[in-house]
Amino acid sequence: MSETSRDSLRERALALDAADPLAARRKLFALDDDGVYLDGNSLGALPVHVPARVQDVLTRQWGELRIRSWDESGWWTAPERIGDRIAPLVGAAAGQIVVGDSTSVNVFKAVVAAARIAGEGRDEILVDATTFPTDGYIAASAARLTGHRIVPVAPADVPAALGPRTAAVLLNHVDYRSGRLHDLPGLTAAVHAAGAVVVWDLCHSAGALPVGLDEHGVDLAVGCTYKYLNGGPG
């Protein structure tokens, strides 16, 4: 590439950056002036207002108000209050999202609940065999607790694997390795048609992609705040 061509591309890139309607959002995060930070899927950049908020929690809420902060600072209602702020990002109504525990603990609770909701006569839990192995380990523990059997299956093969013995299905919305977006509406409908309960893992989509939990009638879903919601270290 000639020097002239490189200069032309640089000028075009600078012009596009200057016209970007989201360019000013960069100032909301702690970033180096000359750096490009692309890691939003594991630990997003620190929002600049967070240190002051953390300091307030330490010095005023804990240090001064102490036990009164459960009421006066709203600690009691924080799980529901923050959940209501996340709800629009995943297409859920107020009151349906609660923040608490780790992703693994919540996946375990959701799979156990789904298996029990399905009722007697259904003893199989279908698990996404192609992505994030942690979910498979958690589902296996849930199966041991509830007396169910694990059936690993690729998401595309779920409709064919469903049957009268299927109690619950645990699926990842996005394949964390390839970025493939799985068919949440279609797979949810297929699981429901078989009389089973679906649990979606939204860790790699909540805050980055449209989800539509209410629109598509999702039974249970679990996500995390430390990827695309800039919630800090997990």
Tens-place pLDDT, residues 155-175: 999 999 999 999 999 999 999
Integer-rounded Cα Rg, in Å, for the chain is: 22
Residues 6 and 55: their CA atoms lie apart, in Å, by 46
Q: How far apart are the two ends of the chain, measured CA to CA in Å? A: 44
- pLDDT number for residue 132: 83
Query: Of 136, 139, 186, 128, which Cα lies nearest the Cα of 159?
Result: 186
Report which of 215, 216, 180 is spatially closest to residue 198, judged by C-alpha positions: 216
Return the CATH number of the domain spanning residue range 103-222: 3.40.640.10
From the list 210, 205, 196, the residue with the least C-alpha distance to 223 is 205
Number of H helices, E strands in the chain: 8, 5
Beta bridge partners of 151: 126
Q: What is the pLDDT of residue 233?
A: 80
- Take residue 76 and report the two structure tokens written for it: 């009691």
CA distance 101 to 113: 16
Residue range 192-204, pLDDT digits in tens: 999 999 999 999 9
pLDDT at 234 over 70: no
DSSP state of 59: I
Q: What is the pLDDT of residues 36-77, one digit of tens each?
A: 888 877 788 899 999 999 999 999 999 999 999 999 999 999
* pLDDT given for residue 1 in this prediction: 65
3-state class of 164 per DSSP? coil
pLDDT(2) > 80: no
Separation CA 106–CA 165 (nearest Å): 24
Quote the pTM value.
Answer: 0.90
**Per-residue pLDDT tens over the stretch 178-188:** 999 999 999 99
Instruction: For residues 105 and 109, give the distance between their C-alpha atoms in angstroms, rounded to a whole number.
Output: 6
Ordered strands of the 149-153 beta sheet: 149-153, 124-128, 166-172, 197-201, 220-222
In contact, 171 and 130? CB cutoff 8 Å: no
Per-residue pLDDT averaged across 2-19, rounded?
87
Tokens of 16: 């596009």
Could you give the percent of the chain with pLDDT greater than 90? 79
Rounded Cα distance between 223 and 102, Å, is 9
Considering Cα of 152, then 137, then 229, then 48, what sign does the dihedral take? negative
CATH 3.40.640.10 residue ranges for the chain = 103-222
